[in-house]
Every structure is written in C-alpha cells, then in structure tokens.
Amino acid sequence: MGATDPTETPATGPIRRRHRRRTRPGSAPGTLVADPEARGSAVSAFGYGDGQFFERHDLSVEDVEALKGTVPTLWIDVTGLADIGLIERLGALFGLHGLALEDVINVHQRPKLEEYDDQLFIVTRMAPETRGVETRQMAMLLGEGFVLSFRDDRADCLELVRERLRRENGRMRQYGAGYLAYALMDAVIDGYFPAVEILGEDLEHLEEAVTLHPQQGQIHEVYRIRRDLLDLRRSIWPHRDLVNALIRDDTPLIDGHTRIFLRDCYDHVAQLMDIVETEREIASNLSDVYHSSMNARLNDIMKMLTLIATIFMPLSFIASLYGMNFDRSVSEWNMPELGWRYGYPYALGLMAVCGLGMLVFFLRKHWIKPPTTRRRRRNRDGGPSGGSAG
C-alpha cells in the first residue's frame, strides 16, 4: 500500500494552498515579508556569448557581482524566496525596483508586464505538475545583457532551456538576453499543454462513464475537472496580454528577431485558451448530462415499481377477496368456491390470467420495452469484434 499524500484527502482531493497578503493594510510600498513556508534560497548562474559559457550553482551575492559584466548574456536563477536579505541585495545589484521586488516575494501575482526605466519586469505562472495543484509564480527581470529570475519551487519546466544552453552549437548562445527571456516564457506556456491534455483525458473517460453508466459519485469528479479548468483559464488568460505587450512594445531589449518567436508564443497561448474553453463547455454540458441521466434512471425505476405495483393490485384484490371469513354453513352463497374441488387452482389461475393480461396490455401500450436480442458488432473489416455489447 503506497504512502498517502499529505496534501490530499479521499473526499476532497488535493488541498489548495490559499495565498494571503502578509503585509499589514497600509504598509509602505515595497515592504517585504517572507512566507513562513518558503523554501531556502539558492542562486545559479548561466553565462554565454562570444564563445564563452559557464554554469555555476550555490552562489553568493559576491559571486554574482563578480560574474556580472564578464559575458554578453548572464542568467541568474534564484530558487526559494525565504532569504529576504539575499533577494534585496540581488535586487540592488541589478537595479530591481522596490515595487517589483515586493511582487517577487508575494507569489500570488497574476501574469503581467511592467517597465521600469530600461528594464522589463515580467511575471508568469508555471503550470501545475499534478492534478488539482495550483500554479506557481516565476518572476523575471530583463535588462541589458542579463535575465534575473525568481521562483519559490525548485521543480520547474525550464530544464530543457538549460539543456539548450549547454549545447555548444545551439541557437540559444547566438542571441541575447531578450531571446533568453522569450525561451523561458515559451517553456512556461508550453508547460500548460500536458496539464490541459491530462484534464482532457480525464474528461473524455468521465464523459463515457456518465453517458453509459451514470453513478452518484461522478458529479464530484465533474466539479473537480471544472474547478481545475477554471484555475488553468485564470492563469493562461493573462499570458496572452503579457506576450501581446512584449510584441507591441518598442523597447530595445526585444529585437525584431525575438518578436517573430514571440508571435509563435502568442499562438500557443491562443491555442491553449481554445482548448480550455472547449473543455470547460464539455464539462458544463457533462454536468447537465449527468443530472439528466440520473433523472432518467430514477424515472425508469419509478416506472418499473409503479408497473409492478399496478400488476399486483388485482392480484391482491383476489387474494383478499378469498381471504374473507364468511361462514359457509349459514348460506350457500358465502364463498361457494371454498367448497369446490378446484377452487384453489381456479383462484391461482385467475391471478395468473389477470397478471399476464395486464403485462400484455402494458407491452401493447409500449409502457414496457420488450426484450431485444443483442448481436455482436462487426469491425470495419467484417470480422466480429472482441468486446461484448455494452
């Protein structure tokens, strides 16, 4: 028996962590308060350009300061947001605005783009890795020759970008920081496709089950899928405005070559939105199908019970009639059938005739469907199928 996930319960599924602002109302802008559940901070660096490349991990702020300006393009990746002092020092080193630094720490931001002097501050949300888990924030600062990224979760969808940087003849090393920022956003957006496909498969299996064999517990699964699709839609929708703003912005940090790839990224966001909206519509219709199927099933059960009760009504009348305690010695008209040799078979036969007669009447009225003989389906090649009729 496998271990139970502490973030899941059998009745409700994965528990959602609710983000709450940790600063008091009226606090000064830029006030930083770390999340008590935030992971420890770690700094990694990738530098490349002009035939140079290096990869460093577990760096201090002094190490980052020494690397700054040594290569045409520098990517500083910070995982874990518990160390406020380290994040503040890195922000000061790269000129990160105080308001942007506050958005880095408070990981409940929606995807957006903000411009500070000659820098672009970008917030994206990474897709959930498992069913029912909320999205995770990744913030980026794009400047001249560098990209500074922050995220609280070490599990991410950026490993493929790192592998592309490690290739000596890869395209990534030929372009600057703007293209790197695009590659990171593209990886984040493409990470939604597996999550959407998983929900689509769950919805397809659930649709077949609800249509063919509706059961009471299926409605909870329908609501779970609708809730997850709503969460994905809430995260994907702002990415469209974010990418569109980068395409239309005339900042020198994004060159014309990178804008071509950003248009492809915009197409991916639009495709994701179409898929999510379609699946949400299917889930909404599936809820109606479920209720209709359950009502139809209940109606069939009530109809069958009513027909059975109707058939037994004359039989009950006949049985109660012959169960009356009249004294036959007082009058010859008091239940003469009780003294008849064939009285008991006559009563049973009368009941059988009444029951069969009513059954034939119901069949002629099509209130009861006659039994049908099911034939095995044949495949397109003419041979019998392996599965039995459902």
DSSP letter string, 61-112 = HHHHHHHTTSSSEEEEEEE----HHHHHHHHHHHT--HHHHHHHHSTTPPSE
pLDDT of residue 58: 92
Sole residue written with tokens 């044949």 = 378
* Unique residue bearing structure tokens 């059975």: 308
pLDDT for residue 135: 85
Higher model confidence: residue 371 or residue 243? Answer: 243
Give the mean pLDDT of the chain: 82
- pLDDT of residue 339 exceeding 90, the answer is no
pLDDT tens column, 351-361: 899 989 888 88
Which pLDDT score is estimated for 211?
77
> Half-sphere exposure (CA, 13 Å, Cβ side) for 127?
28
In the structure, what pLDDT confidence band is assigned to residue 66 with cuts at 50, 70 and 90?
A: very high
CA angle 102, 106, 112 (to 5 degrees): 80
Per-residue pLDDT at 4: 40
Examine the pLDDT at 373 and tell me if it is beyond 60.
Answer: no
Q: Which phi and psi angles does 378 have, rounded to 5°?
A: -115, 145
Output the pLDDT for position 27: 60
Percent of the chain with pLDDT over 70: 84
Q: Quick one: pLDDT at residue 2?
A: 40
Residue ranges of the chain that CATH labels 1.20.58.340: 298-325+335-364
pLDDT of residue 78: 94
Q: What is the average per-residue pLDDT within 144-156?
A: 87
Name the residue among 118, 152, 366 with its Cα closest to residue 252: 118
Most distant CA pair in the chain, distance: 125
pLDDT for the residue numbered 65:
94
CA distances from 225 to 4, 106, 259, 288, 373 (A): 22, 27, 35, 14, 38
Mean pLDDT across 166-183 = 88
CATH 3.30.460.20 segments of the chain: 29-291
Distance CA(302)–CA(207), nearest Å, equals 25
- Give pLDDT tens digits for 270-327: 999 999 999 988 888 887 787 777 777 788 888 888 888 888 888 888 888 877 877 7
pLDDT at 304 (0 to 100): 85
**Please, are residues 303 and 256 in contact by the beta-carbon 8 Å criterion?**
no
Poorest-pLDDT segment among 104-108, 184-188, 218-222, 346-350: 218-222
Q: Give the fold, CATH level 3, of 29-291.
A: Beta Polymerase; domain 2 (3.30.460)
DSSP of 227-243 = HHHHHHHHHHHHHHHHH
CB 30 within 8 A of CB 101: yes
Cα distance between residue 252 and residue 142, in whole Å: 11
Q: What tokens does 269 get? A: 């966001």
Give the whole-number percent of the chain exceeding pLDDT 90: 34
User: 81-123, pLDDT tens digit by residue?
Assistant: 888 999 999 999 999 988 899 899 888 889 999 998 889 999 9
Tokens at 241, concatenated: 């405005």
Does pLDDT of 133 surpass 70?
Answer: no
Superfamily of domain 298-325+335-364: Magnesium transport protein CorA, transmembrane region (1.20.58.340)
Angle between the 343-364 and 256-321 helix axes, to the nearest 10 degrees? 150
pLDDT band at 62 (very low <50, low <70, confident <90, very high): very high
Give the pLDDT band (50/70/90) at residue 213.
confident
With a cut of 90, say whether residue 383 has pLDDT above it.
Answer: no
pLDDT (0 to 100) of residue 385: 46
Q: How far is CA 234 from the centre of its chain?
A: 12
Per-residue model confidence (pLDDT) at position 390: 34
- Reported for 275-281, long-range contacts at CB under 8 A and 24+ positions apart, including other chains, are 275/196, 275/200, 276/196, 276/229, 276/232, 276/233, 276/236, 277/233, 279/196, 279/199, 279/200, 279/203, 279/225, 279/229, 280/226, 280/229, 280/230, 280/233
